[in-house]
Structure formats: C-alpha cells, structure tokens
C-alpha cells in the first residue's frame, strides 16, 4: 500500500499564545513546534498498515522552513519518504489554498490512501481533508476511530453525536484520523539517527503549476482581519467549602438558581 500522510506543524498545545505585532498572527517567539497530534494518529495508522501489508509511507507538508523538523520526526518514527512543499505563511489557515497545493503535489504521486488528521491543532479548521478529497476526486471518511483494511476497500467507524457511522469506501480514499484510532509510537533512538540520513524532497509552490498570478501561487480564500486574545473573564464567585461543604453546596445552588437562573 502506498500511503500519503499530510502533516501540519503546529504550536505545542500547551504553548502560551501571544499576538504578533501585525495583530493578525501569533508571536512565534518561544513557541515549540510539534507534529499536530491528530496527524500522529494518521501517521501511526499508515505505519501499522505498511508493516502488515507492505508498501511505503510518504509524509507531505506545506509550510515554512521550520516544518522540516516535523517531517524529520515522522521519518524517525518510521515514515519512508518526506516531501516538503516550501512556502505558505508560518501559521496557515486558508484550508482551500492548502488543499490546492497538496492536491497539486499529490496528483501525480501514486497513492492507495491519503491520511490526514481530523483537524490541525491551532487552525482548528477540520477542513483540509475533505477539501483535498474533493479536489483529487476521491471519496473521504472523516473522524475515523477504527479502520478495517482490505486490499481495495475499507470499512471505517466515523464518530458522530451519540454514536458512530459504519462507512464502507473503495480505495483510494482520503481518511481523517480521530483520537481512538490507535496509540502513536514514539521515535526510538535508532529511528532518530536513521532519519538524519533520509532525504527530504523539497518542492517549490511555484513549481506546482498553480495559478501564479496570486500570492505564493494560490489565490486566497480565507483572510484574517485580526487576531485577539480572549476577553478577560470577570472573576467568578468562588465559595470556600473545605470546612462546611454542605453550606457551600447550598450557597452554590442558590446562586445558580437565583442569579444565574440555570434551574
């Protein structure tokens, strides 16, 4: 099986977010960048699949120079190839533009399955996978928590409110991974050493044959007017209840009923 994994390199989820000088991006100083957690599930699934059925895993990212570190991490865990489409803003959010770039890079590359994360942590868009599927003319299944693989098809569980859907799809298809699909492995020291010697293929966005009249070769479909920190929240009413939990509970319930009017 030839597996493509789309990886996005994002600020560590525990990062403190500060707004950058332009008021539209984050201030990147002090940010630690990681492989987006859902992409780890996507990669793990591809690794497990090729370990059992043979084939190879190619990880693709579209992003600035630093995203190469994310590709190295994936190579260290066992991916066979890495493709870095260099470009784009450092904090991407234009899902269709990203999907167009990825589609252009993937269309002539053999693939039985394309795996994405359900969402990129940070943009929290959850859009690139289905958009990529549409552009590549493939079916997709998103938010997958379980997959049974056959040679030319899959049966997958897709998480929905109050349950799950059982979806059958032919391959090739685009899958987006949800937590629960598997337990991602860590990179072993041997893998980390080996990854240093594996090549990372570099592609320029301009060379993908997209509309070059627009910035970076892709027309914008999403624009950020401003980025702000959440408004400071007024301090809540916190009741000390260590000594008399019963009285504290009664006071809380009274506040919820009379002031917040929630019951």
Ligand X SMILES: Nc1ncnc2c1ncn2[C@@H]1O[C@H](COP(=O)(O)O)[C@@H](O)[C@H]1O
Ligand Y SMILES: Cc1cc2nc3c(=O)[nH]c(=O)nc-3n(C[C@H](O)[C@H](O)[C@H](O)COP(=O)(O)OP(=O)(O)OC[C@H]3O[C@@H](n4cnc5c(N)ncnc54)[C@H](O)[C@@H]3O)c2cc1C
Residue with tokens 């868009």, as numbered in its chain:
125
Pick between residue 58 and residue 95 the one whose CB is nearest to ligand X.
Answer: 95
Residues 3-42 that bind ligand Y (CB under 6 A): 13, 37
Residue 180 interacts with another protein (CB under 8 A)?
A: yes
Structure tokens at 203: 């592609």
Stretch that binds ligand X, among 6-14, 72-80, 161-169, 189-197 (CB under 6 A): 6-14
Residue 159 vs 219, nearer CB to ligand Y: 159
Report the partner that residue 62 touches, choosing among ligand X, ligand Y, another protein, none (CB closer than 5 to 8 A by kind).
ligand X
CA distance 168 to 162: 20
* Alpha-carbon distances, residue 68 vs 16, 71, 145, 228 (angstroms): 23, 5, 28, 28
Answer with the entry of ligand Y, ligand X, another protein, none that 78 interacts with (C-beta below 5 to 8 A by kind). none
Q: One symbol per residue from 199 to 238: x for binding ligand Y (CB under 6 A), - otherwise; what is it?
A: ----------------------------------------
Distance CA 184, CA 195 (A): 17
Helix axes 68-77, 37-53, angle to 10 degrees: 40
Determine the Cα–Cα distance for residues 120 and 143; give it in Å rounded to an integer.
Answer: 12
Q: Could you say which of 4, 7, 103, 144 contacts ligand X (CB under 6 A)?
A: 7
Residues lying near ligand Y in the complex (CB under 6 A) are found at 13, 37
């Amino acid at each position: 099986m030839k597996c493509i994994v789309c990886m996005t390199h994002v600020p560590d989820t525990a990062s403190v977010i500060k707004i950058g000088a332009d008021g539209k991006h984050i201030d990147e100083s002090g940010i630690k960048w990681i492989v987006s957690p859902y992409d780890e599930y996507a990669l793990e699934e591809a690794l497990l699949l090729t370990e059992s059925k043979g084939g190879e895993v190619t990880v693709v990212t579209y992003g600035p120079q630093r995203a190469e570190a994310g590709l190295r991490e994936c190579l260290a865990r066992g991916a066979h190839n890495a493709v870095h489409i260099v470009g784009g803003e450092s904090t991407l959010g234009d899902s269709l533009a990203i999907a167009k770039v990825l589609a252009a890079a993937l269309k002539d590359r053999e693939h039985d399955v394309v795996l994405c994360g359900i969402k990129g942590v940070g943009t929290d868009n959850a859009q690139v996978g289905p958009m990529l599927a549409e552009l590549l003319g493939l079916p997709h299944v998103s938010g997958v928590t379980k997959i049974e693989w056959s040679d030319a098809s899959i049966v997958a569980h897709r998480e929905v409110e109050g349950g799950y859907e059982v979806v059958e799809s032919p391959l090739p298809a685009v899958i987006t991974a949800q937590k629960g699909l598997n337990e991602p492995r860590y990179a072993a020291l041997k893998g980390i050493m080996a990854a240093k010697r594996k090549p990372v293929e570099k592609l320029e966005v301009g060379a993908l044959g997209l509309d070059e009249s627009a910035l970076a070769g892709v027309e914008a479909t999403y624009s950020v007017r401003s980025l702000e920190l959440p408004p400071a929240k007024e301090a809540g009413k916190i009741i000390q209840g260590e000594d008399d939990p019963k009285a504290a509970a009664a006071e809380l319930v009274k506040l919820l009923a009379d002031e917040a009017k929630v019951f």
